[in-house]
């Protein structure tokens, strides 16, 4: 049995924040902080904060802008966080709403109807509640049959979700699977932290996974090799969770936001990912010159350039290793799916591609795809 990705979808939020807008707000905060704490700073009891710049952000990450679900209060120096009101229980949740929007695009691309779907997997970095599962809410909103569940694997959630979908098809527990990645990441950002306030954006992607024999879409991507890998590390972490309120001394700590030790991540993750891709290429007899496209996790342009050069043995072109993080920023698990969604129309039958994620956990996953 051959399993394919037969359609993808993308929901882009209504608001975009440029580096200049973000930096302007951040630097206002820095000036206020340093002024209010000038005596402590002068006495050496407190370190002064340093401002940022758009040039620094672009050089460090390749990011120029990001999309968000709520903009105004992120840029309000008195708040510096998104404002997202909790909805009534009888109203579709925000995460389900954007997931449905991406799913409808994927269904159209795959020539499928909601009733064709018998498994819905929501795979992302965070879900906005513990239960009922967002996947089951989306299943109900679309009118799909079968079953659904949520899974969290941080930046590798989408690829891990696709592997779970493929295995469900191979086992006979599902025929056509909808994998959705509703990544609302702006609430996890500490917009007062110079090193991380610019990293993430909001988005939702979706993929249809099915048996090749039932696929009728114009572009199908057969999964010819797949391998996930995990290795525990504290170097990327977020301690937000339902037990936070159990410790009143730490419940509002900065560790509840996204935190990372970037240099350690760079040093440790890149060899792991490069070796994972290389092993999967060997598995299917794929030489570097046979790789038509590298759809890599969109976290940092320097990481992507390193991995692509390692895999191909040379500097990649923007066509070979497309970058979307300049416009979307880091969208966790959705990044590599956005790259696939936006950069596949020129592919022809037989072209080989790498779809690879990597991130917190550490977690990584490589799929070798063939256009069919």
For 330-350, give the DSSP string.
B-TTHHHHHHHHHS-TT--TT
| Per-position b or e across 334-349, b if 16+ CB within 10 A of its CB | bbbbbbbbebbeebee
Residue position matching structure tokens 């967002």: 134
Phi, psi of 130 (to 5 degrees): -80, -45
Choosing from 155, 336, 356, 365, which is the catalytic residue? 155
Parallel, antiparallel or unpaired: strands 3-11 and 15-18: unpaired
Whether 365 sits among the annotated catalytic residues: the reply is: no
* Number of Cα atoms under 13 Å in the Cβ half of residue 326: 9
Residue position matching structure tokens 């996947």: 135
> Taking the chain, what is the end-to-end CA distance rounded to the nearest angstrom?
14
- Under a CB-based contact definition with an 8 Å cutoff, are residues 296 and 307 in contact? yes
Of all helices (H) and strands (E), which one includes residue 371? strand 363-371
- Under a CB-based contact definition with an 8 Å cutoff, are residues 55 and 63 in contact? no
The residues annotated with a catalytic role in the active site are 155
């Amino acid at each position: 049995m051959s399993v394919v990705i037969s359609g993808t979808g993308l929901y882009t939020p209504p608001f975009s924040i440029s580096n200049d807008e973000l930096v302007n707000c951040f630097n206002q905060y820095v000036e206020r902080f340093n002024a209010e704490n000038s005596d402590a700073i002068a006495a050496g009891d407190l370190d002064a904060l340093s401002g940022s710049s758009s040039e620094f952000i672009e050089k460090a990450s390749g990011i120029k802008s990001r999309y968000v679900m709520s903009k105004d209060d992120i840029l309000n120096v008195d708040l510096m966080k998104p404002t997202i009101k909790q909805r009534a229980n009888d109203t579709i949740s925000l995460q389900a709403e954007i997931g449905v929007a991406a799913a409808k695009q994927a269904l159209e691309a795959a020539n499928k109807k909601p009733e064709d779907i018998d498994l819905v997997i929501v795979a992302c970095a965070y879900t906005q509640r513990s239960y009922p599962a967002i996947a089951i809410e989306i299943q109900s909103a679309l009118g799909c049959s079968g079953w659904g569940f949520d899974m969290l694997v941080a930046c590798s959630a989408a690829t891990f979700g696709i592997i779970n979908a493929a295995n469900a098809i191979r086992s006979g527990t599902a025929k056509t699977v909808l994998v959705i990645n509703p990544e609302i990441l702006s609430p996890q950002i500490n917009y007062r932290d110079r090193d991380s306030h610019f990293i993430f954006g909001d988005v939702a992607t979706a993929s249809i996974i099915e048996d090749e024999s039932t696929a009728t879409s114009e572009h199908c991507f057969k999964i010819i090799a797949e391998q996930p890998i995990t290795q525990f590390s504290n170097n990327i972490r977020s301690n937000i969770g339902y037990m936070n309120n159990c410790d009143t001394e730490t419940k509002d700590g900065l560790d509840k936001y996204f935190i990372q030790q970037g240099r350690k991540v760079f040093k440790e993750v890149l060899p792991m990912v490069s070796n994972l891709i290389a092993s999967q290429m060997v598995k299917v007899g794929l030489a570097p010159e046979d790789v038509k496209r590298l759809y890599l996790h969109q976290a940092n342009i320097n990481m992507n350039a390193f991995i692509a050069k390692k895999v191909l043995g040379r500097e990649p072109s923007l066509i070979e290793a497309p970058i979307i993080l300049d416009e979307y920023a880091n969208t966790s698990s959705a990044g590599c799916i956005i790259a696939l969604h936006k950069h596949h129309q020129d592919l022809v039958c037989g072209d080989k591609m790498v779809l690879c994620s990597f991130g917190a956990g550490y977690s990584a996953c490589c799929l070798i795809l063939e256009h069919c």
